[in-house]
Amino acid sequence: MGTTVDTANDGADGSGAKFDVGGLPDVPESPCVGNGKGGGGNNEPDFSYLWAANSSQGTISKIDTQSVTEVGRFIVRPDSIGSPSRTSVNLEGDVAVANRSGGVTKIYALEERCQESNGQPGIQTSSDQNFLPWGEEECVAWYSPFAYASQRPVAWTQGEFNVNTCHFENAKLWTSGSNGTTDVLLLDGEDGAVVDMVTLAGFPQDFYGIYGGAVDGEGNFWGTKLGGVQLVRVDIDDLAYQTWAVPVGSYGMTVDSEGYVWACSGTYGRFDPETETWATGNGGGYSGCMAETGEDGLLWMAASNSVIGVDRHLLMPVQTWPVPGSYGVSIDYYGYVWTVAYSGGAHRVDKVTGEVTSYNGLVGAYTYSDMTGYALTYAGGGEPSG
């Protein structure tokens, strides 16, 4: 069992410092400080949620990272049997989830954004682990059906920051599906419509297609296959793509704040897009990974019943903390490391003390993507484009 940690005043480093959710670089401090997802005056985030897929239930859970409680659960396909897995959170805090059996859904993070759609007065939406029937829940922004046998990756782009509204706008969403060939699609973040699509000619084909995906600081898509094999980069402007062989048998992947692309497993690889070369290390985990921002930030990797911190420059494990279960890894805006166990619970780890606070109400959990939006916020340059 995990312990309850008082997080009212301190960040994970005990300093009292807080990460500013989706910080606003290159934007005047006024009038935007304190507005939108990233405002949070006094360096306080407006909100911080982790979104975990309940694959066997066909839902995703919204977990408050400070109280470690579930504050919403949502069906993500009309038939509830899509087997949702990867989740991606944009710089406004809204989430998109891909169903492994096809289909992508966007859900609003805040009730004030939800739209009247079911004919009942007020907004009907979940506020705990109980979910509403499809069509009654009004915080589902859109659902886009796709007839893919396998649809795994989903990753938001940053969009553009509007200094007048203090919000990020025109964000797009990457996804990929496989039906004998592998497609990479760019969706409109407002309605889920397909903006553009490319079929990857010559891409090694299996049932899964692209298994993990993330974006860099320019919003370009990076994807890897199950077991490594090949890395692909798709340009957001024209969907031109390039591929490279992967020297490690990776499972998860991420892009860090310096623009390096990581392929993660027991052996792990760091790809430098500038030199188009790999550096590799040993002693990692076996599935998900995510990197802290900053030169000294560690790459955190899931490793069964522990989470491992890897020095991103020395390519050596330097920290290990035990957790009740570890499959997916994410980081929240207070600096805590999160693991989501395979079919189990979500566990918040203080990276300094190793203390764990657990939420065990998930059902058939399976998530190891950017569950908080942290990776998108800092991908490729330390801050999102403003």
SS (H, E, C) the chain: CCCCCCCCCCCCCCCCCCCCCCCCCCCCHHHHCCCCCCCCCCCCCCCCEEEEEEHHHCEEEEEECCCCEEEEEEECCCCCCCCEEEEEECCCCCEEEEECCCCEEEECCCHHHCCCCCCCCCCCCCCCCCCCCCCCCCCEEEEECCCCCECCCEEECCCEEECCCCEEECCEEEEEEECCCEEEEEEECCCCCEEEEEECCCCCCCCCCCCEEEECCCCCEEEEECCEEEEEEECCCCCCEEEEECCCCCCEEEECCCCCEEEECCEEEEEECCCCEEEEEECCCCCCEEECCCCCCEEEEEEEEEEEEEECCCCEEEEEEEEEEECEEEECCCCCEEEECCCCCEEEECCCCCCEEEECCCCCECCCCCCCCHHHHHCCCCCCCC
**In this predicted structure, what is the pLDDT of residue 24?**
39
**In this predicted structure, what is the pLDDT of residue 141?**
98
**In this predicted structure, what is the pLDDT of residue 189?**
98
Which stretches in the chain have pLDDT values below 50?
Answer: 1-28, 30, 34-42, 382-386
Chosen CATH of 29-378 out of 1.20.1050.10, 2.170.120.30, 3.40.50.720, 2.130.10.10: 2.130.10.10
**In this predicted structure, what is the pLDDT of residue 9?**
35
**In this predicted structure, what is the pLDDT of residue 31?**
62
**In this predicted structure, what is the pLDDT of residue 228?**
86
What pTM was computed for the model? 0.90
**In this predicted structure, what is the pLDDT of residue 295?**
86
